[in-house]
A and B are shown apart, each in its own frame.
Chain A
Amino acid sequence: RKEVEQDPGPFNVPEGATVAFNCTYSNSASQSFFWYRQDCRKEPKLLMSVYSSGNEDGRFTAQLNRASQYISLLIRDSKLSDSATYLCVVNWGNFNKFYFGSGTKLNVKP
Chain B
Amino acid sequence: EPEVTQTPSHQVTQMGQEVILRCVPISNHLYFYWYRQILGQKVEFLVSFYNNEISEKSEIFDDQFSVERPDGSNFTLKIRSTKLEDSAMYFCASGRQAMGTEAFFGQGTRLTVV
Distance, CA A39 to CA B62, complexed state (A): 29
Pick the most buried of B42, B50, B89, B101: most chain A CB atoms within 10 A of its CB: B42
Binds B, one of A11-19, A76-84, A93-101: A93-101
Q: A94-B55, A95-B98, A103-B42 are in contact. Are A43 and B31 (CB under 8 A)?
A: no
Residues of B within 8 A of A73 (CB): none
Q: C-beta contact mask, A26-48 vs B, less than 8 Å → 1, else 0?
A: 00000110100000011111100
Interchain CA distance A87-B35 in the complex, whole Å: 14
Contact of B98 among A46, A87, A96, A103 (CB under 8 A): A96
User: Given known contacts A95-B50, A95-B55, A98-B35, what 20 new A-B pairs fall within 8 Å (CB)?
Assistant: A31-B100, A32-B99, A34-B102, A41-B89, A41-B110, A43-B91, A43-B105, A44-B105, A49-B102, A91-B100, A96-B31, A96-B48, A96-B99, A97-B48, A97-B56, A97-B58, A98-B43, A100-B44, A101-B42, A103-B42
Query: Looking across the interface, which residue of chain A has its beta carbon closest to that of B104?
Result: A46
Q: Quick one: CB contact mask for B81-114 with A, threshold 8 Å, 1 for yes?
A: 0000000010100010011111111111010000
In angstroms, Cα B104 to Cα A103, docked, is 18
Chain A residues with Cβ below 8 Å from B28 are: none
Q: How far is the CA of A79 from the CA of B106 in the complex (A)?
A: 25
CB-CB contacts of B17-43 with A at 8 A, as 1s and 0s? 000000000000001010100000111
29 residue pairs A–B, Cβ–Cβ below 8 Å: A32-B99, A42-B108, A43-B91, A43-B106, A44-B91, A44-B105, A45-B105, A46-B102, A46-B104, A87-B43, A93-B56, A94-B56, A94-B98, A94-B99, A95-B31, A95-B48, A95-B98, A96-B31, A96-B33, A96-B95, A96-B99, A96-B101, A98-B33, A98-B35, A98-B43, A100-B35, A100-B42, A101-B42, A102-B41
